[in-house]
Amino acid sequence: MITPTPLMGIVTGYWAFKTLAAAVELDLFGRLAGQRVITRQQAEQELGIPERPADLLLAACASLGLLERSGDGYRNTELAERFLVPGQPHYFGGQVRYCDERTYLPWHRVTEALRTDKPLTWDPASQDSLFSDVDEGMLALFWEAMYSTSSFTARALGEAYDFGAHQRLLDVGGGAGAFPIELCRRYPQLRATIFDLPHVGALAEAKISAAGLTDRIGTVGGNFLTDPALPDGHDVILLSMILHDWDEAQNRSILATCHAALPPGGAIVISELLLNDERTGPASAALMGMNMLVETEGGRNYSGAEYGAWLTDAGFTDVRTIWFDAPGANGAVVARRP
Protein backbone atom coordinates (compact mmCIF):
# COMPACT_ATOMS: atom_id res chain seq x y z
CA MET A 1 0.00 0.00 0.00
CA ILE A 2 1.29 3.43 -0.93
CA THR A 3 1.43 5.82 2.04
CA PRO A 4 2.75 9.37 2.50
CA THR A 5 5.63 8.07 4.64
CA PRO A 6 8.29 8.95 2.00
CA LEU A 7 6.84 12.44 1.75
CA MET A 8 7.01 12.79 5.53
CA GLY A 9 10.70 11.97 5.37
CA ILE A 10 11.27 14.69 2.79
CA VAL A 11 9.16 17.28 4.62
CA THR A 12 10.94 16.76 7.94
CA GLY A 13 14.45 16.55 6.52
CA TYR A 14 15.38 19.94 7.91
CA TRP A 15 14.67 18.71 11.46
CA ALA A 16 17.78 16.56 11.39
CA PHE A 17 19.94 19.28 9.85
CA LYS A 18 18.91 21.97 12.31
CA THR A 19 19.39 19.59 15.23
CA LEU A 20 22.95 18.92 14.05
CA ALA A 21 23.56 22.64 13.43
CA ALA A 22 22.37 23.54 16.94
CA ALA A 23 24.56 20.87 18.52
CA VAL A 24 27.58 22.16 16.59
CA GLU A 25 26.79 25.76 17.56
CA LEU A 26 26.62 24.73 21.23
CA ASP A 27 29.86 22.74 20.82
CA LEU A 28 28.20 19.62 22.21
CA PHE A 29 30.55 17.24 20.42
CA GLY A 30 33.66 19.22 21.31
CA ARG A 31 32.71 19.01 25.00
CA LEU A 32 32.55 15.22 24.67
CA ALA A 33 35.92 14.81 22.96
CA GLY A 34 37.96 11.84 24.05
CA GLN A 35 34.92 9.68 24.85
CA ARG A 36 33.81 11.84 27.73
CA VAL A 37 30.29 11.02 28.98
CA ILE A 38 27.79 13.76 29.74
CA THR A 39 24.54 13.40 31.67
CA ARG A 40 21.41 15.40 31.01
CA GLN A 41 22.05 17.46 34.13
CA GLN A 42 25.61 18.23 33.02
CA ALA A 43 24.33 19.17 29.57
CA GLU A 44 21.95 21.64 31.18
CA GLN A 45 24.78 23.33 33.04
CA GLU A 46 27.46 23.23 30.33
CA LEU A 47 25.27 24.13 27.38
CA GLY A 48 23.30 26.71 29.34
CA ILE A 49 19.91 25.30 28.39
CA PRO A 50 16.92 24.10 30.50
CA GLU A 51 16.16 20.48 31.34
CA ARG A 52 13.60 19.75 28.63
CA PRO A 53 15.71 21.10 25.71
CA ALA A 54 18.79 19.28 27.03
CA ASP A 55 16.88 16.00 27.19
CA LEU A 56 15.42 16.45 23.71
CA LEU A 57 18.74 17.47 22.12
CA LEU A 58 20.64 14.50 23.55
CA ALA A 59 17.93 12.07 22.48
CA ALA A 60 17.74 13.57 18.99
CA CYS A 61 21.51 13.45 18.48
CA ALA A 62 21.52 9.83 19.63
CA SER A 63 18.74 9.01 17.17
CA LEU A 64 20.85 10.50 14.36
CA GLY A 65 23.84 8.31 15.20
CA LEU A 66 25.87 11.20 16.61
CA LEU A 67 25.70 10.20 20.29
CA GLU A 68 25.41 6.85 22.00
CA ARG A 69 24.14 5.96 25.44
CA SER A 70 26.72 5.12 28.09
CA GLY A 71 25.28 4.37 31.53
CA ASP A 72 23.35 7.43 32.68
CA GLY A 73 24.80 9.67 30.01
CA TYR A 74 25.81 10.06 26.40
CA ARG A 75 29.10 10.10 24.54
CA ASN A 76 30.21 10.78 20.98
CA THR A 77 29.87 8.03 18.43
CA GLU A 78 32.90 7.33 16.27
CA LEU A 79 31.36 9.47 13.53
CA ALA A 80 30.97 12.50 15.80
CA GLU A 81 34.35 12.01 17.47
CA ARG A 82 36.14 11.96 14.13
CA PHE A 83 34.30 14.68 12.26
CA LEU A 84 32.47 16.96 14.71
CA VAL A 85 35.13 17.65 17.33
CA PRO A 86 36.89 20.96 16.58
CA GLY A 87 40.56 20.53 15.82
CA GLN A 88 40.25 17.09 14.26
CA PRO A 89 42.09 16.81 10.90
CA HIS A 90 38.85 16.38 8.94
CA TYR A 91 36.52 18.50 11.06
CA PHE A 92 33.14 18.69 9.30
CA GLY A 93 31.65 21.37 11.53
CA GLY A 94 32.69 24.03 9.03
CA GLN A 95 30.37 22.48 6.46
CA VAL A 96 27.53 22.43 8.98
CA ARG A 97 28.05 26.04 10.02
CA TYR A 98 28.52 27.30 6.46
CA CYS A 99 25.26 25.74 5.31
CA ASP A 100 23.45 26.90 8.43
CA GLU A 101 24.69 30.49 8.31
CA ARG A 102 25.08 31.04 4.56
CA THR A 103 22.60 28.97 2.57
CA TYR A 104 19.82 27.76 4.88
CA LEU A 105 17.74 30.96 4.95
CA PRO A 106 18.16 31.69 1.21
CA TRP A 107 16.86 28.18 0.50
CA HIS A 108 13.59 29.27 2.12
CA ARG A 109 13.09 31.45 -0.99
CA VAL A 110 13.94 28.78 -3.54
CA THR A 111 10.66 29.38 -5.42
CA GLU A 112 11.93 32.91 -6.08
CA ALA A 113 15.07 31.45 -7.65
CA LEU A 114 12.95 29.11 -9.76
CA ARG A 115 10.91 32.03 -11.06
CA THR A 116 13.76 34.49 -11.64
CA ASP A 117 16.72 32.18 -12.44
CA LYS A 118 18.86 34.35 -10.17
CA PRO A 119 20.96 33.32 -7.15
CA LEU A 120 19.74 34.05 -3.65
CA THR A 121 22.94 34.20 -1.60
CA TRP A 122 24.33 37.19 -3.50
CA ASP A 123 23.29 39.81 -6.07
CA PRO A 124 25.14 39.68 -9.42
CA ALA A 125 23.89 43.20 -10.22
CA SER A 126 25.83 44.73 -7.32
CA GLN A 127 28.47 42.15 -6.37
CA ASP A 128 31.46 40.81 -8.28
CA SER A 129 31.23 37.25 -7.04
CA LEU A 130 29.54 34.80 -4.73
CA PHE A 131 31.96 35.67 -1.93
CA SER A 132 32.38 39.42 -2.39
CA ASP A 133 30.27 40.20 0.70
CA VAL A 134 31.52 37.32 2.85
CA ASP A 135 33.68 38.10 5.86
CA GLU A 136 36.94 36.31 6.50
CA GLY A 137 35.40 34.08 9.16
CA MET A 138 32.76 32.78 6.78
CA LEU A 139 35.36 32.24 4.05
CA ALA A 140 37.45 30.26 6.51
CA LEU A 141 34.39 28.11 7.23
CA PHE A 142 33.85 27.58 3.51
CA TRP A 143 37.41 26.43 2.81
CA GLU A 144 37.46 24.26 5.92
CA ALA A 145 34.20 22.66 4.77
CA MET A 146 35.52 22.06 1.27
CA TYR A 147 38.75 20.56 2.56
CA SER A 148 36.99 17.98 4.72
CA THR A 149 34.68 16.89 1.91
CA SER A 150 37.43 16.94 -0.70
CA SER A 151 39.90 14.84 1.30
CA PHE A 152 37.64 11.81 1.32
CA THR A 153 36.50 12.39 -2.25
CA ALA A 154 40.14 12.51 -3.34
CA ARG A 155 40.85 9.18 -1.67
CA ALA A 156 37.91 7.58 -3.48
CA LEU A 157 39.03 9.07 -6.80
CA GLY A 158 42.57 7.84 -6.21
CA GLU A 159 41.24 4.31 -5.77
CA ALA A 160 38.93 4.45 -8.79
CA TYR A 161 41.36 6.06 -11.26
CA ASP A 162 45.00 5.06 -11.64
CA PHE A 163 47.20 8.14 -11.44
CA GLY A 164 50.23 5.86 -11.51
CA ALA A 165 50.76 6.56 -15.21
CA HIS A 166 51.05 10.31 -14.60
CA GLN A 167 53.94 12.40 -13.34
CA ARG A 168 52.59 15.95 -13.07
CA LEU A 169 49.09 16.86 -11.91
CA LEU A 170 47.51 20.29 -12.41
CA ASP A 171 44.55 20.84 -10.08
CA VAL A 172 42.54 23.65 -11.65
CA GLY A 173 40.60 25.54 -8.99
CA GLY A 174 42.22 23.28 -6.42
CA GLY A 175 41.31 25.32 -3.35
CA ALA A 176 43.12 24.36 -0.17
CA GLY A 177 44.85 21.40 -1.83
CA ALA A 178 43.01 18.35 -0.53
CA PHE A 179 43.14 16.47 -3.85
CA PRO A 180 46.87 16.92 -4.56
CA ILE A 181 47.72 16.09 -0.95
CA GLU A 182 45.73 12.85 -0.91
CA LEU A 183 46.77 11.81 -4.43
CA CYS A 184 50.45 12.51 -3.81
CA ARG A 185 50.26 10.46 -0.63
CA ARG A 186 48.85 7.53 -2.59
CA TYR A 187 51.09 7.87 -5.67
CA PRO A 188 54.73 8.51 -4.68
CA GLN A 189 55.83 9.41 -8.23
CA LEU A 190 53.26 12.19 -8.57
CA ARG A 191 54.05 15.90 -8.38
CA ALA A 192 51.29 18.49 -8.39
CA THR A 193 50.46 22.15 -8.94
CA ILE A 194 47.39 23.93 -7.56
CA PHE A 195 46.10 26.68 -9.83
CA ASP A 196 43.69 29.01 -8.06
CA LEU A 197 43.19 32.63 -7.02
CA PRO A 198 46.26 34.06 -5.24
CA HIS A 199 44.58 34.42 -1.83
CA VAL A 200 43.50 30.78 -1.98
CA GLY A 201 47.08 29.70 -2.61
CA ALA A 202 48.08 30.82 0.87
CA LEU A 203 45.52 28.46 2.38
CA ALA A 204 46.79 25.62 0.24
CA GLU A 205 50.40 26.27 1.17
CA ALA A 206 49.57 25.94 4.86
CA LYS A 207 47.86 22.59 4.27
CA ILE A 208 50.71 21.38 2.05
CA SER A 209 53.27 22.31 4.68
CA ALA A 210 51.30 20.55 7.41
CA ALA A 211 51.19 17.44 5.22
CA GLY A 212 54.96 17.55 4.69
CA LEU A 213 54.62 17.76 0.90
CA THR A 214 56.16 21.13 0.07
CA ASP A 215 58.75 19.36 -2.08
CA ARG A 216 56.07 17.78 -4.29
CA ILE A 217 53.15 20.23 -4.40
CA GLY A 218 53.30 23.87 -5.45
CA THR A 219 50.83 26.67 -6.07
CA VAL A 220 50.38 29.13 -8.94
CA GLY A 221 48.06 32.11 -8.62
CA GLY A 222 45.65 32.85 -11.43
CA ASN A 223 42.07 32.79 -12.67
CA PHE A 224 41.03 29.89 -14.88
CA LEU A 225 38.06 31.91 -16.15
CA THR A 226 40.05 34.87 -17.44
CA ASP A 227 43.70 33.85 -17.85
CA PRO A 228 44.53 33.05 -21.48
CA ALA A 229 46.39 29.85 -20.58
CA LEU A 230 46.93 27.38 -17.78
CA PRO A 231 50.37 26.49 -16.42
CA ASP A 232 52.04 23.98 -18.73
CA GLY A 233 54.25 20.99 -18.04
CA HIS A 234 51.54 18.71 -16.66
CA ASP A 235 50.32 15.41 -18.07
CA VAL A 236 47.01 15.24 -16.20
CA ILE A 237 44.53 18.00 -15.35
CA LEU A 238 41.96 17.64 -12.58
CA LEU A 239 38.68 19.58 -12.43
CA SER A 240 37.05 18.57 -9.16
CA MET A 241 33.69 20.06 -8.19
CA ILE A 242 34.40 22.99 -10.52
CA LEU A 243 32.23 22.65 -13.60
CA HIS A 244 28.92 22.46 -11.76
CA ASP A 245 29.42 26.17 -10.93
CA TRP A 246 29.09 27.27 -14.55
CA ASP A 247 26.86 27.08 -17.61
CA GLU A 248 27.60 25.03 -20.72
CA ALA A 249 29.30 27.83 -22.66
CA GLN A 250 31.71 28.61 -19.81
CA ASN A 251 32.45 24.93 -19.26
CA ARG A 252 33.23 24.40 -22.93
CA SER A 253 35.65 27.31 -22.73
CA ILE A 254 37.34 25.83 -19.65
CA LEU A 255 37.71 22.45 -21.37
CA ALA A 256 39.22 24.09 -24.45
CA THR A 257 41.79 25.83 -22.24
CA CYS A 258 42.60 22.51 -20.56
CA HIS A 259 43.04 20.83 -23.96
CA ALA A 260 45.52 23.50 -25.01
CA ALA A 261 47.53 23.07 -21.80
CA LEU A 262 47.97 19.30 -22.10
CA PRO A 263 50.61 17.51 -24.18
CA PRO A 264 49.61 14.69 -26.56
CA GLY A 265 48.66 11.71 -24.45
CA GLY A 266 47.77 13.89 -21.49
CA ALA A 267 44.57 13.20 -19.56
CA ILE A 268 41.76 15.22 -18.07
CA VAL A 269 39.71 14.07 -15.06
CA ILE A 270 36.36 15.71 -14.23
CA SER A 271 35.22 14.66 -10.75
CA GLU A 272 31.63 15.60 -9.90
CA LEU A 273 28.28 14.52 -8.54
CA LEU A 274 27.07 13.21 -11.90
CA LEU A 275 23.47 12.93 -12.97
CA ASN A 276 22.48 9.78 -14.82
CA ASP A 277 21.97 10.17 -18.55
CA GLU A 278 18.18 10.25 -18.10
CA ARG A 279 18.55 13.16 -15.63
CA THR A 280 16.39 11.40 -13.05
CA GLY A 281 18.96 11.10 -10.26
CA PRO A 282 20.73 10.31 -8.12
CA ALA A 283 19.25 12.69 -5.57
CA SER A 284 22.66 13.87 -4.36
CA ALA A 285 23.49 15.21 -7.82
CA ALA A 286 20.02 16.54 -8.61
CA LEU A 287 19.71 18.38 -5.30
CA MET A 288 23.21 19.80 -5.65
CA GLY A 289 21.92 21.20 -8.93
CA MET A 290 19.14 22.94 -7.00
CA ASN A 291 21.79 24.35 -4.66
CA MET A 292 23.60 25.73 -7.70
CA LEU A 293 20.35 27.54 -8.58
CA VAL A 294 20.43 29.14 -5.13
CA GLU A 295 24.13 30.03 -5.18
CA THR A 296 25.28 30.58 -8.78
CA GLU A 297 24.26 32.43 -11.92
CA GLY A 298 24.48 29.54 -14.36
CA GLY A 299 25.60 26.43 -12.51
CA ARG A 300 23.88 23.06 -12.56
CA ASN A 301 24.83 19.43 -12.24
CA TYR A 302 25.44 17.57 -15.48
CA SER A 303 25.45 13.98 -16.65
CA GLY A 304 28.49 11.99 -17.73
CA ALA A 305 27.09 12.00 -21.27
CA GLU A 306 27.01 15.80 -21.34
CA TYR A 307 30.60 16.08 -20.15
CA GLY A 308 31.59 13.40 -22.65
CA ALA A 309 30.06 15.31 -25.56
CA TRP A 310 31.83 18.53 -24.57
CA LEU A 311 35.14 16.73 -24.17
CA THR A 312 34.80 15.17 -27.62
CA ASP A 313 33.96 18.54 -29.14
CA ALA A 314 37.04 20.01 -27.43
CA GLY A 315 39.26 17.42 -29.15
CA PHE A 316 39.61 14.79 -26.45
CA THR A 317 39.29 11.06 -27.14
CA ASP A 318 38.88 7.82 -25.17
CA VAL A 319 36.14 9.34 -23.03
CA ARG A 320 34.89 7.13 -20.22
CA THR A 321 33.06 7.46 -16.92
CA ILE A 322 34.16 5.78 -13.71
CA TRP A 323 31.95 5.53 -10.65
CA PHE A 324 32.71 5.63 -6.93
CA ASP A 325 31.10 6.65 -3.65
CA ALA A 326 32.34 9.79 -1.90
CA PRO A 327 30.90 12.83 -0.10
CA GLY A 328 31.76 15.30 -2.87
CA ALA A 329 31.42 13.21 -6.02
CA ASN A 330 29.98 9.95 -7.29
CA GLY A 331 32.15 9.59 -10.37
CA ALA A 332 34.61 11.05 -12.81
CA VAL A 333 34.64 11.54 -16.55
CA VAL A 334 38.10 10.84 -17.95
CA ALA A 335 39.47 11.59 -21.42
CA ARG A 336 42.79 11.85 -23.26
CA ARG A 337 44.31 14.41 -25.59
CA PRO A 338 45.42 12.50 -28.71
The residues that are catalytic are 244
Q: CA-CA distance, 158 to 170, in Å (whole number)?
A: 15
C-alpha closest to that of 292 among 113, 115, 124: 113
Within 13 Å, how many C-alpha atoms sit on residue 314's CB side?
29
State the Cα–Cα distance between residues 197 and 219, nearest whole angstrom: 10
Contact status, residue 284 vs residue 323, Cβ threshold 8 Å? no
Helix (H) or strand (E) holding 199: helix 198-211
Residue type (1 letter), 82: R
* Inter-residue contact 77 to 66 (CB < 8 Å): yes
Amino acid at 165: A
Task: Calculate ∠ Cα 158-160-162, nearest 5°.
Answer: 65
The H-or-E segment that residue 31 falls in is: helix 28-31
Number of Cβ within 10 Å of residue 137's Cβ equals 10
The DSSP element (H or E) to which 309 belongs, if any, is helix 304-313
Helix axes 51-63, 40-47, angle to 10 degrees: 110
Helices then strands, counting H and E runs in the chain, come out as 15, 10
CA–CA distance, 170 with 261 (Å, rounded to integer): 10
β 168-172/236-240 pair status: parallel
User: What strands, in cross-sheet order, belong to the sheet with 217-221?
Assistant: 217-221, 191-196, 168-172, 236-240, 267-272, 331-336, 317-323
